[in-house]
Structure 1
Amino acid sequence: MSKTSSMGRGIMALLAVGSRTKEGLPGGTVADIAADLGKDRSQVSRSLRGAQQEGFLERTEQRSYTLDWSLFTDAQLLTERRLQTDGATALEGLAAETNEGCFLGVLNGDSTVTIGERVPAGSDLVGSWLGRPYPAYCSDAGQALLWQASDSEVRTILADVAFVGHGPNTPVDIEDFLTRLHAARRRGYSIVDEEAEPGLYSLAVPVRDFKDEVVAALQVVGPKARLEPKREAGAAALVSWGKWLESALGHSSSQ
């Protein structure tokens, strides 16, 4: 057999173990994985041993193969570091193109938290948002960070949230928020128009990592009177830098 086909079998076996883990099962034996894949046991056994030797899998005393979580922990730490370093590059580039305040946010429970910012002198934004939480239902980053969440997941996340009006256009309830989220997905980016505070306007896109999971939101924020008229140009720059940052995090456009 060719080296490529051997690699393909190894990936299939690894994904099969991952699927069992996702279903809440404690990994699987050679017989389990062979049955899942409909493959010969000896062939599957070689693939599992190879994945174990490469550090992707562990073998328990019960002869069951499980994911080696240390590998995924290392990958997660790498993603967080790249968000800080490459995120700073994306913020610099985006701010230079838009001359508006640019931010990078993450989700923390039902709030968003800013982890990076670049605020040009002429942006009219005062103070720093670094480390400050803001309600996800009306924050500049909220819709983008919940981009991949199902309606039921959004309802669960925001179930205990009181929809307090922070601006004239703040969503009034979860269903209102979902309507805006659905529109943002169709558009390709979110628009938060005086939802966070009066006069404030923002655009945001989700940032996905190598697992195709949203790990951050990239945002352009400014006064509505100035940013709304140049929305299309701002959105184009935002989408472009968002894709650049996703690529830096290992996300493939084919995912």
Structure 2
Amino acid sequence: MAAETATSLKRGLAILLALEGGELGVTRIAELVAREKSQVSRSLKVLAEQGLVERDPATLAYRLGWRLFALAAAAGNQRLVAAAPARLRELVRSFGEGAHLSVLQGSGVLTVASESPPHAVQAVGWVGRIVPAGCTSAGYALLSDHDRRDLASFMPDAAFRRKHPQAPQSADELCERLLAARARGYALANEEFEPGLVAVAAPVRDFQGRIVAAVNVSAPSFRFALRLDEAGAQVRTVADDLSRALGWESKRRAQDASQSASMLA
């Protein structure tokens, strides 16, 4: 019985791996996993019952199911939370400034992890704090895949008028900041959220290439302004490493560059 169960499990895993490249019919799946078509059909039925595969009613082909993506997303969140603190501490050691991990929360940015240098004196911590996405480096990084249409619906122009004068005053202006961030590989905020405060940030992507978080370093302008490019490059490296831990492939970066120009249209 145990041997039969192990064989069934291996067959199911082989089928899931075969579907990694897209939809396939039963016959093709059977060829790829070197199993009888009847065996593959039975395995597909069990996998479909658990939501691990889905069958297209029109083509009758199978594809990976919603539950598999949900499991992958949950695993990614756990890996990110586990891996981020050590990488944030690396940034703190490199620059002597606070480093943070943030996620998008509505039209704001929520800090979920933060590391500070030993000498730091903070009246208010960043963890749990929500700040506007439209005037912060982390917000620019988190929104960097949005185009003009997305931004116009996500943050109407009226939402910008209460921000600091250095911050974008419209969706069009914000889009220009995002284009610059995409071309550079990291986002910059120069006294746009708060006078005297500068920051850099880079996006963290999941296994599907979606932006799920941002890594950023922020500090007073008088001691950090001359290190922004250096910090931006290192923040990008950390964000890319975290992305790879979530299954993101670096080939996505080449696609990002070609997509940046289309956002101007």
Give the TM-score normalised by the residue count of structure 1.
0.77
Q: Deviations over 1:150-169 (max 9, x none)?
A: 22112221137521444341
Matches of 2:185 and 2:128, distance apart in 1? 27
Q: Is the 8 A contact 1:10 1:51 kept in 2?
A: no
Residues 61 and 163 of structure 1: is their aligned pair in 2 closer, same or farther, counting only changes over 3 Å?
A: closer
Q: 1:155 to 1:203 in 2, by over 3 A?
A: same
Alignment map for 1:200-239 (pairs within 5 Å) = 200-239=197-236
2:132 to 135, 141, 145: 135
What is the rounded CA distance, in whole Å, between the counterparts of 1:173 and 1:48 in structure 2? 55
Aligned partner (choices 114, 119, 127) of residue 116 of structure 2: 119
Superposed displacement of residue 67, structure 1: 4.5
Counterpart position of 2:93:
96
On the 8 A contact 1:10/1:50 being kept in 2, the answer is: no
Q: What is the distance in 1 between the residues matched to 2:118 and 2:140?
A: 27
Kept in 1, the 8 Å contact 2:156–2:170? The answer is: no
Q: Unaligned regions of 5+ residues in structure 1, if any?
A: 1-5, 17-32, 35-40
- Number of the residue aligned with 2:143: 146
Measured at CA, do residues 131 and 8 of structure 1 come closer, stay the same or move farther in structure 2, by a change above 3 Å? closer
> How many angstroms does 1:70 deviate by?
2.0
- In the alignment of these two chains, the number of paired residues is 228
Measured against aligned partners, the alpha-carbon deviations of 1:129-162 in whole angstroms (never above 9, x if no partner) come to 2122111101231110011122211222113752
Contact 1:101 1:125 in 2 (8 A): no
Aligned CA-pair RMSD: 3.1
Kindly indicate whether residue 187 of structure 2 is the aligned counterpart of residue 195 of structure 1.
no
**Of 156, 177, 181, which aligns to 1:180?**
177
Q: Is the 8 A contact 1:119 1:125 kept in 2?
A: no
Separation in 1, partners of 2:150, 2:41: 34
- DSSP 3-state at the match of 2:149: helix
TM-score by length of 2: 0.74
Q: Cα–Cα, structure 1 residues 51 and 148, in superposed 2: closer, same or farther, change >3 Å?
A: farther
SS in 1 for 2:135: coil
Query: Which residue number corresponds to residue 155 of structure 1?
Result: 152
State the 1:116 CA deviation. 0.7
Question: Quick one: structure 1 residues 82 and 11, their matched pair in 2 at CA, closer, same or farther if it must change by over 3 Å?
Answer: closer
Query: Offset at 1:79?
Result: 1.3
Question: Which residue does 1:57 correspond to in 2?
Answer: 53
User: Could you tell me how far apart the structure 1 residues matched to 2:151 and 2:171 are?
Assistant: 8
Identity of aligned residues (%): 31
- 3-state SS in 1 of match to 2:93: helix
Matched, 1:254 2:251: yes
Letter in 2 for 1:253: S
Q: Does 1:240 align with 2:240?
A: no
Specify the alignment match of 1:43 in structure 2.
Answer: 28
